[in-house]
Structure 1
Amino acid sequence: MSKFSLEGKSAIITGGASGIGEAISNTFAEQGAHVHILEFNPESGKQAANSIKDKGGKASFYQCDVSNYQQVMDTVKKISENNEINILINNAGIAHVGNVENTKVEDLDRVYNVNVKGVYNCIHAVVPIMKKQGGGVIINMASIASSVGLSDRFAYSMSKGAALTMTYSVAKDYLNEGIRCNCISPARVHTPFVDGFIKKNYPGKEAEMFEALSKTQPIGRMGKPEEIANLALYLCSDEASFITGSDFPIDGGFIKLNG
């Protein structure tokens, strides 16, 4: 058996049909896991699952709004009826640009509901199942915004700080239940979201802005979704069985080398 194998494992991946989530879904399926993609958008969810199955992998799609407690509980129950739940990747999230003055209460609520309550909903649904099974692995997608101040990211930073501290709390509370919980903190990663953001806010200057944003990373480029997926794979594998309650920046040197 090769290292980092997920053969026979079952993984729930929220937001698993685009960007970093899609890369995690593909990587985990390639390593033998049955991936259960929870996605708000049914078209992209079906497409991602079918793409994995076309390549010989195991994938299922469930339309689910992670901010909706009952939807999450019902979806997780449905998955658990025929599968163990060995891995949970809390990847679904939304962004917001703004400081405390120009962040509307509606904006704050929207970010909180997806990025904080969505993580709670999924962990709340999965932990009892993992306890009965004798263990499992939970990965929360945090951000460098959990650890350093970023301009105009008030609501987003709030939500990712919560993801970080929820990680510590869950890891501590379930040490004796065989549940490991860690989080990953990416810097800027080149995803379709980034391309869309640049196109919307800097029309006609896409190439110039892409280069400028890339250079904000000390290493000189943005991360790749596959690089985040590879870190998630390691943390969910048996080779990482001694790791829990930790945050893993994957940031091209941003936290330690900027300035």
Structure 2
Amino acid sequence: MPELASDILQKIQANRLDNDDLLITVATYDMRFELYNWIAFMKAAKEDRFLILCTDSALYQHLTHTGYKDQAVLVSKDWSNSGTVAGILQRLVYLDINPLMLDINQLVLQPRTREYLSTLMHIRWNTQLIVAQDSQSRINSGFIYLMRDSYPVKRLMALLLQTQMDRPDLTLQEAFNKTLDQFPLDLKSGFTLLLDALHFPDGESYFSRNLSKEIGINPYMVHVNHKTGKERIDLLKEHQLWYVDEEHIKQLDQQITNE
């Protein structure tokens, strides 16, 4: 496996946290509006260090213009299975960091959420993977927190990548669940910690079923994964969870195009 480019390694080091966590998200140019909303939530939660993995040059260029060049890298062809979350995570687990991957629609609602998650990772000696679950009690791939230098995690990522190569029709979430099912139950339950669905709900549980609010729980995060496109943005606006100046972004789009 070839070494990552020096500029990528430098940005990883610059954005890693004191406990060696690295907050990351993966995005394309078409996701830029939702990405800037994700960034706004990260800043509101006082998380100023994170790394955006751009799978196309247009997004990287856009982030450069908006002042995020030091927190963005372009996923180049020398990355394993370039452009896939599985391929990206497989490379990162071989570095001396704990990757914490959030989907761009996984919104952090409370400060110190990451510190709480870090405590969960270290409170039990054999926890090496923390994942969220959806409303059907399956693994929700919108949140994946991996422990560095872990053989089970490295094996899981290699198998996940192979699953996606063998079954390109599967979504990341489907492939992740299928891969994890290959592990014996005792091993899987030993190194994996599932977050509870009330403090870390998916969109169906939080918006449609209103589970957290019914019992007075303020979630740490919510994954807005049950809607797409304009429907998702309209839902976020309805619930005052949209912090993007869309006209400003469109003006930037035009400015960049004209350069």
Q: TM-score, normalised by structure 1?
A: 0.34
